[in-house]
Amino acid sequence: MGNKQTIFTHEQLEAYQDNPFRQRIAQVFSQAGDGHMTLDDFLDMFSVMSEMAPRDLKAYYAFKIYDFNDDDYICAGDLEQTVTKLTRGELSAEEVSLVCEKVLDEADGDHDGRLSLEDFQNMILRAPDFLSTFHIRI
Amino acid sequence: MSHQLKGLEGEVCRGVRRQARSGSPRAGDTSGRRSARKPTPKAEGPPGRRGAQPSQKEPPRGEPRPGSPRRKPTERTGRRGELRGQERSAAERTSEGRRKGDGRASFKEQRAPPKKEKEALRKEETWKRPRKPRSSSLASGNSGGESLSEEELARILEQVEEKKKLIATMRNKPWPMAKKLTELREAQAFVEKYEGALGKGKGQRLYAYRMLMAKKWIKFKRDFVNFKTQCIPWEMKIKDIESHFGSSVASYFIFLRWMYGVNLVLFGLIFGLVIIPEVLMGMPYGSIPRKTVPRAEEEKAMDFSVLWDFEGYIKYSALFYGYYNNQRTIGWLRYRLPMAYFMVGVSVFGYSLMIVIRSMASNTQGSTSEGENDNFTFSFKMFTSWDYLIGNSETADNKYASITTSFKESIVDEQESNKEENIHLTRFLRVLANFLIICCLCGSGYLIYFVVKRSQEFSKMQNVSWYERNEVEIVMSLLGMFCPPLFETIAALENYHPRIGLKWQLGRIFALFLGNLYTFLLALMDDVHLKLSNEETVKNITHWTLFNYYNSSGWNDSVPRPPLHPADVPRGSCWETAVGIEFMRLTVSDMLVTYITILLGDFLRACFVRFMNYCWCWDLEAGFPSYAEFDISGNVLGLIFNQGMIWMGSFYAPGLVGINVLRLLTSMYFQCWAVMSSNVPHERVFKASRSNNFYMGLLLLVLFLSLLPVAYTIMSLPPSFDCGPFSGKNRMYDVLQETIENDFPTFLGKIFAFLANPGLIIPAILLMFLAIYYLNSVSKSLSRANAQLRKKIQALREVEKSHKSVKGKATARDSEDAPKSNSKNATQLQLTKEETTPHSASQSQTLDKKAQGPVTSSSSSSTLLPAPRHLPGSRSPGSRPDSGQPQSQTHPWRSASGKSAQRPSH
């Protein structure tokens, strides 16, 4: 990427890839939080999404990406949004709620009905293919 | 050169800093830079979400500056003495980087102030000049003996190490890039400066080189993995199918691919060791009777209808057993063909047995090691199933489909597992269903038996009609066509999970097909016995013909009579070739039936439903005919039984494996196409069991069952007298004895004879049984231990969970007490705190840190290491420099997730 363009909009990212979380990624990595990225933000994104980035760092940013409402917890609403995005809304409402319930049931360590960063890391660090899927190549 | 330049710049910026400090508090350079670069109002930084973090860890670079000098002395009193200067310079480099960015940005804009600043700089520079030599001499002052004691040297060394560590772990830190850059530059500069002084001149370059190599290595590994995946045939096709139809349908195709691989090996074995040597070195076609089409068949031998039945020229080719000669060695290689033929026949079974059992074993291993992940099925699906590498919209579509499918699979599993049901009713229904199915099986068994009996009567009669001749085949295909759907209907009563239901269905159809297979075999055996009983008369006829031919009168005795043309020699029926032809025909007709069924039953039906739906009185797609589902059980069993045919037939028709390889190849493409074009996913998409050991088990059973008749014919039937590699011998395995006697030294022959002694074989078998028993008991006890360990882990997790919930509440209370500067910050801090170890001491430390937040960390950023632990302050910045020891860089998350979390809190 050259030095000329220092702001990446999420439209540009959209053209680049088909990720259901592209807007979230752009938001999480833009310092302003509006999905516009400076060069530094862009570099940030690629350093986190690079193959060499450590697991913990990736987990931290993955948490941020899945935390749709930015309240530092992944709550049921966030989960629902995630499922809907992942399946393009092909699951019925009951199925979605069942899935969310199961996820909370599995990963919620302190039973407060939402996933804290700690819960999330605890879960994601055991995932077999998190590292292999959570990265981007240029 | 660049270092020098940087150094210069460092001087420059140091100057700037001094000026700024002495003057008014610097306007926060984040915002300044930001506004310089991107003049949007949002870019003010800190208020933003992410801005909150820097402000926490690397506190307001603007306002607290004035406070820092005041605080510093109290914090690090004389201990640091000399070092402070260096630290300061290092810290100033921090700002240097920052400043540099500023400078660049502002120069671009050609503003006035920088110039002024620069002028001021010069002044400062001169003011500072004298310091530099001093500090450098300080660094190398060891020799000069000026003022650097051992202790200080050690401390510098320590710091260098720390900086190095920082450089190494830089990428682990969730800082924004700008911060990373400044930190990195600072650390690098520090290391460069002092490492030289301490006599270790390697540094950046080596590091860069190592990084480069690491990158290259990773890229190479990635390419290699890609390459390996690309080498797996049909991987993309199968993935495609899996994403739309679920893993159960894909498991069939994976099985098909595996089967193709096995057959390819068998094909290589047979072609390389039997057919090609025979073609290259054996006697050519037409040289001896067994290699020649008989005179009576000659004119029709090339007709398509004859060839289609594998008669004519094909029958007298290397594809079949009868073509091979019983010469002990052929060609200039003195290749022992009969021996090779026998050994290949045995090793086909040996290899198949080995590969099936091996893959079963590896499947079980895989399934036990994956058992641990059951805890997080849904979470993993949700958070790790999307592959962020996908950059192609088509792949993305597939991925969406596959994620949806896998969610549905898991949902089905989940619903099944906690379905409340009436146990008594279910049991009754299951018993009833099994009873019905056993009735069906018995009925069909009797029907087959009856039909076979009748056909034996028919075979004795003359002029029977077409139906009567083919009655057995017709009845069997009718049974094969109607029984599976019937079973499926009955199985609906049982209300099993679809995966278990599939297994039952497979088992039942398997039983049905077995009857099919064995009646076929029995009929074949009858035929063989009939031919064998005729053999003696044929032998006599041949003998007499030849005898009469050579001894007939009316020929000039002086000229030796030319040998009788091979086509005219009367010959036996060669039952081996007949059996081979039978299997060949069966395979081909099976293949054709499969293809035609797919074409008619799936493709035409799909076309009809699709296009007639526009002009039909009811909804065809949702209503009656609908689209076909992929019939997993039928296809798997078809494949398995077909393989059984191949195993049975390959001894008598070496070409059969070649045909089967072609068949599997075409059916791979054809069925992939048919599935994608004209089938719909199952109503309840279910996940295939992790190991397809059930398929393998069936395959093993079929392998065993097909081994039996072949072994029987080899061991107890005499080979034909005038065809095949074993002709003239009493039994086929005599070829072994012959080879041992003629080609091995005599003592080996004795050893073999000794080994074949029953007195030795029976103890050996007993020993094997004992070994099996022992291994079995060992594996049982191991698996029990395994289960116990798993239970223990589970229990530990539960404890951990409850523990955490208690702790979480406590921290929540704490954080409410803590002073909040702004709400964002507070939540961030709380988060931080939760990461720390549960020790109350460390908690209080973090609390402490939080309380002094702005002040402490501002001082630390202005002094040496800005200790901004963004997330989890595992050590508080205040205490760190004092202790002066390299503290273990425990990674906070590790500590949170690792053992320390389980430690009881004091």
ipTM score of complex: 0.83
Name the minimum distance, in Å, from the CA of A136 to any CA of chain B. Answer: 5
DSSP 8-state code for residue B813: H
Instruction: List A residues 48-67 in contact with B (Cβ-Cβ < 8 A).
Output: 48-49, 51-54, 56-57, 59-62, 66
In this complex, is the C-beta atom of A91 within 8 Å of any C-beta atom belonging to chain B? yes
Tokens of B748: 């080996």
Q: Is B386's CB within 8 Å of A51's CB?
A: no
- pLDDT value at position B52? 38
AA letter at B446: Y
- pLDDT value at position B763? 92
In this complex, is the C-beta atom of A138 within 8 Å of any C-beta atom belonging to chain B? no
b/e per residue, A96-117, with b = 16+ CB within 10 A?
bebbbebbbebbbbbebebbbb
AA letter at B67: G
Largest CA distance in chain B: 139
Q: How far apart are CA B140 and CA B132, in angstroms?
A: 12
Number of H helices, E strands in chain B: 34, 2
pLDDT grade for B105, boundaries at 50, 70 and 90:
very low
Instruction: Report chain A residues whose CB lies below 8 A from the CB of B381.
Output: 99
Q: Is B87 exposed, middle or buried (0-12, 13-18, 19+ CB in 10 A)?
A: buried
Looking at the DSSP bridge assignments, the partners of residue B335 are B330
CA dihedral B321, B324, B328, B330 (to 10 degrees): -140
Name the minimum distance, in Å, from the CA of A103 to any CA of chain B. Answer: 5
Q: How far apart are CA B205 and CA B510, in angstroms?
A: 68
Q: How far apart are CA B619 and CA B612, in angstroms?
A: 10
Q: Which residues contact B723 (CB under 8 A, 6 or more apart)?
A: B290, B321, B322, B323, B324, B571, B572, B574, B576, B577
Candidate from B51, B393, B396 with C-beta closest to A31: B51
Residue B55 near residue B828 (C-beta atoms within 8 A): no
> Does the structure show a pLDDT above 90 at B268?
yes
> Does the structure show a pLDDT above 50 at B658?
yes
Name the minimum distance, in Å, from the CA of A2 to any CA of chain B. Answer: 17
Mean pLDDT of the B847-871 span: 40
Percent over 90 (pLDDT), chain B? 16
AA letter at B156: I
In this complex, is the C-beta atom of A31 within 8 Å of any C-beta atom belonging to chain B? yes
- pLDDT value at position B46? 40
Q: How far apart are CA B862 and CA B92, in angstroms?
A: 7
Tokens of B81: 């003495």
pLDDT in tens, B223-241: 898 888 888 889 888 888 8
* Least confident span in A39-43, B528-532, B650-654, B898-902: B898-902
Q: How far apart are CA B411 and CA A97, in angstroms?
A: 11
Which one, of B320, B336, B318, lies nearest residue B328 by Cα? Answer: B336
Nearest CA in chain A to B400: A87
Q: Is A83's CB within 8 Å of B382's CB?
A: yes
- pLDDT value at position B765? 94
> Does the structure show a pLDDT above 90 at B262?
yes
Nearest CA in chain A to B407: A99
Q: Which residue has tokens 């899945």?
A: A66
Classify A112 as helix, strand or coil: coil
Locate all alpha helices (DSSP H) within A36-116, ordered by sequence: 39-49, 55-66, 76-87, 93-107
In this complex, is the C-beta atom of A46 within 8 Å of any C-beta atom belonging to chain B? no
AA letter at B712: Y
Residue A29 near residue A102 (C-beta atoms within 8 A): no
Number of Cβ within a 10 Å radius of residue B387: 18
Name the minimum distance, in Å, from the CA of A51 to any CA of chain B. Answer: 8
AA letter at B274: V
Q: Which residues contact B200 (CB under 8 A, 6 or more apart)?
A: none
Q: How far apart are CA B761 and CA B482, in angstroms?
A: 48
Residue B33 near residue B101 (C-beta atoms within 8 A): yes
Q: How far apart are CA B193 and CA B83, in angstroms?
A: 14
DSSP 8-state code for residue B376: G
Classify B680 as helix, strand or coil: strand
Looking at the DSSP bridge assignments, the partners of residue B628 are B679
Instruction: Report chain A residues whose CB lies below 8 A from the CB of B690.
Output: none
Q: Is A133's CB within 8 Å of B384's CB?
A: yes
Mean pLDDT of the B526-531 span: 85
* Least confident span in B25-39, B160-174, B593-607: B25-39
Number of Cβ within a 10 Å radius of residue B420: 5
Q: Which residues contact B405 (CB under 8 A, 6 or more apart)?
A: B242, B243, B244, B245, B246, B681, B685
Candidate from A33, A116, A126 with C-beta closest to B376: A126
Tokens of B271: 């072609």
Per-residue CA distances from A56 to B388, B568, B873, B896, B901 (Å): 17, 84, 15, 11, 16
Per-residue CA distances from B772 to B88, B765, B767, B769, B779 (Å): 74, 11, 9, 5, 10
Q: Is A106's CB within 8 Å of B800's CB?
A: no
* Least confident span in A14-28, B624-638, B709-723: A14-28
Instruction: Report chain B residues whose CB lies below 8 A from the CB of A134.
Output: 384, 388
- pLDDT value at position B720? 87
Residue of A17, A43, A48, A56 to mutate, interface with B, max B Cβ within 10 Å: A56
Q: Is A98's CB within 8 Å of B404's CB?
A: no
Which one, of B653, B663, B727, lies nearest residue B314 by Cα? Answer: B653
Which one, of B203, B59, B12, lies nearest residue B828 by Cα? Answer: B59
Q: Which residues contact B752 (CB under 8 A, 6 or more apart)?
A: B740, B744
pLDDT in tens, B488-497: 888 888 878 7
Name the minimum distance, in Å, from the CA of B122 to any CA of chain A. Answer: 31
Mean pLDDT of the B774-791 span: 93
CA dihedral B797, B803, B808, B813 (to 10 degrees): 180
> Does the structure show a pLDDT above 90 at B266?
yes
Candidate from A48, A118, A129 with C-beta closest to B384: A129
- pLDDT value at position B810? 61
> Does the structure show a pLDDT above 60 at B40?
no
pLDDT grade for B861, boundaries at 50, 70 and 90:
very low
Residue of B181, B374, B385, B388 to mutate, interface with A, max A Cβ within 10 Å: B388
Q: Is B893's CB within 8 Å of A121's CB?
A: yes
Residue B475 near residue B422 (C-beta atoms within 8 A): no
In this complex, is the C-beta atom of A44 within 8 Å of any C-beta atom belonging to chain B? yes
pLDDT grade for B195, boundaries at 50, 70 and 90:
low
Tokens of B828: 């961030």
Q: What angle do CA B720, B726, B731 make, to 5 degrees?
A: 75
Phi, psi angles (nearest 5°) of residue B679: -110, 160
The residue with greater pLDDT, B592 or B42, is B592
Phi, psi angles (nearest 5°) of residue B309: -90, 10
Q: How far apart are CA B518 and CA B701, in angstroms?
A: 14
- pLDDT value at position B347? 95
- pLDDT value at position B398? 76
Candidate from B218, B377, B410 with C-beta closest to A51: B218
Candidate from A18, A40, A54 with C-beta closest to B391: A18
> Does the structure show a pLDDT above 70 at B121?
no
Mean pLDDT of all residues belonging to chain B? 72
* Least confident span in A1-10, B91-100, B739-748, B776-785: B91-100
Q: Is A18's CB within 8 Å of B218's CB?
A: no
Q: Is A127's CB within 8 Å of B376's CB?
A: yes
Candidate from B379, B390, B407 with C-beta closest to A91: B407
Instruction: Report chain A residues whose CB lies below 8 A from the CB of B50.
Output: 30-31, 33
Which one, of B71, B31, B55, lies nearest residue B870 by Cα? Answer: B55
Residue B81 near residue B87 (C-beta atoms within 8 A): no
Q: Is B808's CB within 8 Å of A40's CB?
A: no
Mean pLDDT of the B805-817 span: 56
Q: Which residue has tokens 């995630």?
A: A82
Name the minimum distance, in Å, from the CA of A25 to any CA of chain B. Answer: 11
Residue of A69, A118, A121, A134 to mutate, interface with B, max B Cβ within 10 Å: A118
The residue with greater pLDDT, B632 or B349, is B349
Name the minimum distance, in Å, from the CA of B672 to any CA of chain A. Answer: 24
Instruction: Report chain A residues whose CB lies below 8 A from the CB of B214.
Output: 52
pLDDT grade for B557, boundaries at 50, 70 and 90:
low
Q: Which residues contact B670 (CB under 8 A, 6 or more apart)?
A: B595, B598
Q: Is B355 exposed, middle or buried (0-12, 13-18, 19+ CB in 10 A)?
A: middle
Instruction: Report chain A residues whose CB lies below 8 A from the CB of B807.
Output: 110
Percent over 70 (pLDDT), chain B? 67
Residues with pLDDT less than 70, chain A = 1-17, 137-138
Looking at the DSSP bridge assignments, the partners of residue B725 are none
Candidate from A17, A40, A52 with C-beta closest to B390: A17
Residue of B50, B383, B387, B832 to mutate, interface with A, max A Cβ within 10 Å: B383
Residue of A14, A28, A31 to mutate, interface with B, max B Cβ within 10 Å: A31
- pLDDT value at position B352? 95
Rg (CA), chain A: 16
- pLDDT value at position B331? 84
Residue B337 near residue B343 (C-beta atoms within 8 A): no
Nearest CA in chain A to B805: A110
Look at strands B628-629 and B679-680 and give their pairing.
parallel
How many A/B residue pairs have CB atoms within 8 Å? Answer: 195
pLDDT grade for B247, boundaries at 50, 70 and 90:
confident
Q: Is B377's CB within 8 Å of A38's CB?
A: no
Query: How far apart, in Å, do the first and last CA atoms of chain B sit?
Result: 56
Looking at the DSSP bridge assignments, the partners of residue A74 are A115
Q: Is B382's CB within 8 Å of A32's CB?
A: no
Number of Cβ within a 10 Å radius of residue B85: 14
Q: How far apart are CA A115 and CA A1, in angstroms?
A: 36
